[in-house]
Structure 1
Amino acid sequence: MNRKKSFSILLILVLIIMSFIPSFVLAESGGASKVDKHTRGSSEPIPQLSPAQLGILLKCEELVSFKFTRTTITKAEIVPEGGLSNAGQPVGEHCLIQGKMNERVSPVDGQTYAIGFEMRLPADWAGRFLYQANGGLDGVVASATGSITGGQLENGIQMGFAVMSSDAGHNGAQNPLFGLDPQARLDYGYQAVGTLTPMAKSLIEAAYEREPDRAYFAGTSNGGRHTMVAASRYSDQYDGFLAVAPGFNLPKAAVAQLWGAQQWAKVATTNDNLETALPPAERKVLAQAILDRCDGLDRLVDGMVQDSERCQKFFDVERDVPTCDAVRDGTCLTEEQKLVVKDVFAGARTSSGEEIYSSFPFDPGVAQSGWASWKFQNSVGPRDPVAVGFVFSTPPVDRSMLQDTLGYALNFDVDTQAGLIYESNELYTESAMEFMTPPNPTNLDSMRNSGAKMIVAHGASDGVFSPDDTARWYEELDANYRNKAEEFARYFEIPGMGHSRGGPATDQFDGLGALIDWVEYGEAPDHITATARGVGNPGGVNTDVPSTWAPDRSRPLCPYPLVARYTKGDPEVSSSFQCKPSSGGNGLN
């Protein structure tokens, strides 16, 4: 075959092959795309949802006979105005509903399980439904008032929401051993939400003679995890999602807590009190070193680190924290302490260096007692050890572990036992990482294309769920949507705030109001004003607020990756700041 004929055949083959290559593959710089078509976010136009319409409660006591599959209503009664209060204000008249669904006897442990719930239906209804996701290991039906974050000046019921809360399929007496029952695990992870939602909407329809116009889902901590899972699994049922301090990788974070306990034990003076590894005086030394290096990065020295990303680049524990020459006296850290601090903040890893969970940012909120309780107390018992052992590991550990959660935590082998959160078997058909986490957290096409919106907020000094993990999620989400994730999802980091609330922070903000404005009126939040809860705050005083601050100090919470930077004016007022990109520089004040 001559060269000309060979070349012609080759050219024809190339053209045939090229005809099967989608145009997007060559769309970027004339070369191959780094992202496969099937991982790209949707490019469909986003619809604008209409506002909810007001309604009037038409039934209450009669709802005790409400019929729905495997549902029993145990209480239906009117609560008069002032029967509840919030932030010193009376809650309006409403209907209180209590009940349970899917009552059953477990073939595994013989326990009787049910999904307990409570609903509060306001007499003057805003036409909206709110699923109030609760925290921890659940197991308690919290009062369905729509209180999501600390110090809410107006909770969900006051805003006119019909509100639901639940125990996620088990009661408090069954914590944590509900993890022995496979269905209880699944209900806790996500199935209770899927079971309750259609029932709740049907009950609302019975009470108001129409279904809600708009449905919202909100929670903090494990409730934030519930929220992100719902955005992935049940986006067809909800229009707005507010996730605060979301533990969306909760099994990994819990394992990291046990690993962290082992690190602190290296420098603790007694294993019975891990806080001796870094007691209050020494945490203040660490916090002050962070402030000395990073406080002025936003152009104002005010006891807050607004530009956290830049701070992480320039703060160095070894250089910036005073080193003890001899004994520990509360003014310095030893070399051994510094090493442990650096390791813990770098994130949990196996002995071979494989990442177990995310890093944590350095933030002056480490001085707060809430941060310490997660690092030194919950990590050894009972919260994290029992969650890992009974709920997240497959198979679960022997119940004798309850007698020595400290020993379990300090002897936990991350190299061999951490992988159990990814395991399943014939009895436990879904691993913890399957039933606890969003199935595909960076693909929210269904949510986006329905017109729904998501707001995520996370404290920079969360002691258990890392804001670094949340920021990484948002960066990956944004990349999947061609840098346009802000059209339907925004993340706000809260400087100084601990887990869900507290810390030297402006931790009082109206996330629900911002979400409603975005979902129903198209007003995307370019910032959310947050206020400190100093002395006299009607929503409750945050004792971590420094006395040098104005008790009502306000700051803008900025959509990631923007940060609040001082411009001019009163340094205690939010309007004196603007949300701008993190700046460069040498990190010096």
Structure 2
Amino acid sequence: MKTMRSLAVAAATILLASAPAVAAAAPPPAIPQVAPATPGELLECESLIGFSYDSTRITSATFVPAGTPAGAPDHCRVTGQTNERVGEDGRSYAIGWEMRLPSDWAGRYLYQGNGGIDGAVAPALGNFTGGQERSGLAQGFAIISSDAGHTGAQNGSFGYDGQARLDFGYNTAVTLTPLANALIAEAYGRGPDTSYFAGGSNGGRHTMVAATRLADEYDGFLPVAPGFNLPQAAVAQIAEAQLWNTVATVPGNLNTAITPAERAVVAQGILERCDGLDRLRDGLVQDGERCAKVFDLDRDVPTCEGERDGTCLTAAQKDVLAQVYAGVTTSTGEQIYASFPVDAGITNGDWATWNLFISVALDPLAVGTVFMPYPDPSIMASPLTADIDALEAGIYEAGLSGQSAMEFMTPLGDDTDYDTLRDTGAKMIVIHGASDAVFSADDTARWFEAVDKAYRNKAEDFIRYFPVPGMAHVSGGAATDKVDALGALVDWVEHGIAPDRLIAQARGDNAEAMAAGLAPGAERPLCVYPLVARYTGGDPNSADSFACKPSSGGPNL
């Protein structure tokens, strides 16, 4: 279906190019609505062990009965290795993958982008957030998942091979997309009617990259908490760690830089100033734009007059936190990544993990082995003394792979060109938590605003961004983080129902949401950016009691 529509667009473009010149540019060709997917049945599972594809070795084809894992239907699990080779570093590499093909197929295909720095073939179940109610597999999708071209044992070394860098950045999806379509055709006797690409965190980055490199192959894209500027974010994390170390009572132990009690003091100040901006005090900051204007760190958080005792922040701690919120910079004042929303989610354990642990444990690994032009072990050995200016410059320099990290890890071009996605009728829904401590929702908002400007305020015709107040990285936090975004994307792609808002619920197993006072199942609307939810009266646990309105903005109070 996608390929046929792409050909139609190409033909229309040729006709337009050959027409006589006119005073104004002609609008893009109209694209018919994608036909809904139709069900199909799996042929013989075990026969897929004989599936043949270029540079691919099938390692297993096994029938898996319903309930393995819990909630999964009967399906066939096929595993394989593609592009097996010996790298320039002398190590063996391949793109490892698995594909799960349900016996009762919905006619849909899903590429599952995985998180972290990959290195493992996550079960191809179609799960992207902790708040997802039903997996993609349970909904009848045929799903592929991969290790992005390296194993877990190679996570500390694959950056020494140029091709492995490219596979991690974008080439795995480029390689596996036609393979997945061929395997589906072999399994069901026909190809998919509709194709989707989704993932969270680094998987969200994979999705954003695919939306620029593979837009003519997919009908829908669902990036969650997308780290689409991951090299910038990783360098920024190291820079933040160095700042936090300046206020650590035990140098090198960032947990002593700002304690849980001190973070709670900050959150309390934010909530007192911002919680009621949506006309309901419920432990959530719905209007983040106005909160950034009315919250004052110096005024609203007590400053210690003596020793730190957990009830205040020192002036030095406030200075560090202010730099983190504003976006850390190089020595010349150039912003490395992005600002972060002022949000009460600073109390989340997730916030501490990213800022005070991963920033010195995993980010230096990625920066030192994958994102620098050539691997530099000293960054991993001493991240708290690394030269931030050199790291920031390094992610823009081509090296081992022939491309810089900001080329092979990010969306193609200037990240605002979505002509192919638009012209083929594809759609994208972006989900991002305001309390995400590693990939900033501010960066996603900046990106959407740039895209919207590039398309003359018409980007919502094919891309919609839904921030999630209080949600941590991918899921969790004091938030209503249970939402059927995949279902909303299918409705938009196949039925033309563009989502103006998504209904999200608080999960009873989300301890941080319960601690904030949200009732299990409490609803909030996730509003399409830049609108925010405002309480209009009635049951505070019902989404019907909220309306999506423009931010109230306003000067400092």
Distance in 1 of aligned mates of 2:176 and 2:251: 43
2:462 matched residue in structure 1: 488
State the Cα distance separating 1:544 from its structure 2 match.
4.6
State the Cα distance separating 1:495 from its structure 2 match.
0.5
2:326 matched residue in structure 1: 346
- Give the TM-score normalised by structure 1: 0.89
Distance in 2 of aligned mates of 1:178 and 1:329: 45
Of 176, 189, 198, the residue aligned with 1:209 is 189
Q: 1:587 to 1:505 in 2, by over 3 A?
A: farther
Of 432, 437, 441, the residue aligned with 2:410 is 437
Q: Which runs of 5+ in 2 are unaligned?
A: 1-20
Distance in 1 of aligned mates of 2:250 and 2:159: 31
Of 546, 551, 554, the residue aligned with 1:582 is 551
1:61 matched residue in structure 2: 46
2:252 matched residue in structure 1: 272
Of 503, 525, 530, the residue aligned with 1:529 is 503
Of 133, 147, 154, the residue aligned with 2:113 is 133
Of 390, 395, 398, the residue aligned with 2:374 is 395
Matched letter for residue 481 of structure 1? Y
- Give the TM-score normalised by structure 2: 0.94
1:92 matched residue in structure 2: 73
1:378 matched residue in structure 2: 358
Q: 1:143 to 1:220 in 2, by over 3 A?
A: same
1:559 matched residue in structure 2: 528
1:34 matched residue in structure 2: none
Matched letter for residue 235 of structure 1? A
Distance in 1 of aligned mates of 2:226 and 2:183: 29
Matched letter for residue 139 of structure 1? G
Matched letter for residue 526 of structure 2? L
Distance in 2 of aligned mates of 1:47 and 1:335: 59
CA contact (8 A) 2:99 2:144 kept: yes
Distance in 2 of aligned mates of 1:82 and 1:434: 42
**1:258 equivalent in alignment to 2:243:** no
Distance in 1 of aligned mates of 2:75 and 2:459: 38
Of 463, 466, 485, the residue aligned with 2:437 is 463
Task: State the Cα deviation string for residues 185-207 of structure 1 (Å, max 9, x = none).
Answer: 00000001000010011000000
**1:80 equivalent in alignment to 2:65:** yes
Task: State the Cα deviation string for residues 496-520 of structure 1 (Å, max 9, x = none).
Answer: 1111111101111111000000000
2:6 matched residue in structure 1: none
Cα RMSD of the aligned pairs, angstroms, is: 1.6
**1:119 equivalent in alignment to 2:99:** yes
Distance in 2 of aligned mates of 1:164 and 1:340: 43
Q: Secondary structure at the match of 2:465?
A: strand
**1:422 equivalent in alignment to 2:400:** no
Q: Secondary structure at the match of 2:360?
A: coil
CA contact (8 A) 1:94 1:120 kept: yes
Q: 1:401 to 1:422 in 2, by over 3 A?
A: closer
State the Cα distance separating 1:319 from its structure 2 match.
1.1
State the Cα distance separating 1:401 from its structure 2 match.
5.5
**1:158 equivalent in alignment to 2:138:** yes
State the Cα distance separating 1:417 from its structure 2 match.
2.9
After superposition, residues 301-316 of structure 1 pair within 5 angstroms as 301-316=281-296
Distance in 2 of aligned mates of 1:155 and 1:534: 19
1:282 matched residue in structure 2: 262
Distance in 1 of aligned mates of 2:401 and 2:340: 32
Task: State the Cα deviation string for residues 47-98 of structure 1 (Å, max 9, x = none).
Answer: 311101110011210000100001111110111112221xxxx321000111
Matched letter for residue 376 of structure 2? V
2:208 matched residue in structure 1: 228
CA contact (8 A) 2:367 2:379 kept: no
CA contact (8 A) 1:505 1:545 kept: no
Distance in 2 of aligned mates of 1:303 and 1:401: 40
Q: Which runs of 5+ in 1 are unaligned?
A: 1-20, 25-36, 536-540
Q: Secondary structure at the match of 1:545?
A: helix
State the Cα distance separating 1:418 from its structure 2 match.
1.6
Matched letter for residue 329 of structure 2? R
2:18 matched residue in structure 1: none
Task: State the Cα deviation string for residues 20-70 of structure 1 (Å, max 9, x = none).
Answer: x9966xxxxxxxxxxxx9xxx974434311101110011210000100001
Task: State the Cα deviation string for residues 436-484 of structure 1 (Å, max 9, x = none).
Answer: 0001321100011111000001110111111111000000000011101
Matched letter for residue 420 of structure 1? G
Distance in 1 of aligned mates of 2:296 and 2:81: 53
Q: 1:42 to 1:118 in 2, by over 3 A?
A: farther
Q: 1:358 to 1:585 in 2, by over 3 A?
A: closer
State the Cα distance separating 1:422 from its structure 2 match.
0.8
Q: 1:323 to 1:103 in 2, by over 3 A?
A: same
CA contact (8 A) 1:534 1:543 kept: no
Q: 1:394 to 1:499 in 2, by over 3 A?
A: same
Q: Secondary structure at the match of 1:121?
A: strand
State the Cα distance separating 1:395 from its structure 2 match.
1.5
Q: Secondary structure at the match of 2:395?
A: helix
Distance in 2 of aligned mates of 1:42 and 1:311: 40
Matched letter for residue 449 of structure 1? D
Of 531, 542, 551, the residue aligned with 1:573 is 542
1:50 matched residue in structure 2: 35
Distance in 2 of aligned mates of 1:575 and 1:183: 51
Task: State the Cα deviation string for residues 369-405 of structure 1 (Å, max 9, x = none).
Answer: 0011000000001x1001001000001113x655x3x
CA contact (8 A) 2:524 2:546 kept: yes
1:219 matched residue in structure 2: 199
Distance in 1 of aligned mates of 2:124 and 2:442: 31
CA contact (8 A) 1:131 1:163 kept: yes
Matched letter for residue 389 of structure 1? G
Matched letter for residue 417 of structure 1? L
Matched letter for residue 356 of structure 1? I
Q: 1:289 to 1:547 in 2, by over 3 A?
A: closer
Distance in 2 of aligned mates of 1:319 and 1:83: 54
CA contact (8 A) 1:132 1:163 kept: yes
Task: State the Cα deviation string for residues 199-254 of structure 1 (Å, max 9, x = none).
Answer: 01100000000000000000010000000000000011110000000000000000
Distance in 2 of aligned mates of 1:401 and 1:549: 42
Q: 1:71 to 1:337 in 2, by over 3 A?
A: same
Matched letter for residue 411 of structure 2? P
Computing the radius of gyration from Cα coordinates, the structure with the larger value is: 1
2:482 matched residue in structure 1: 508
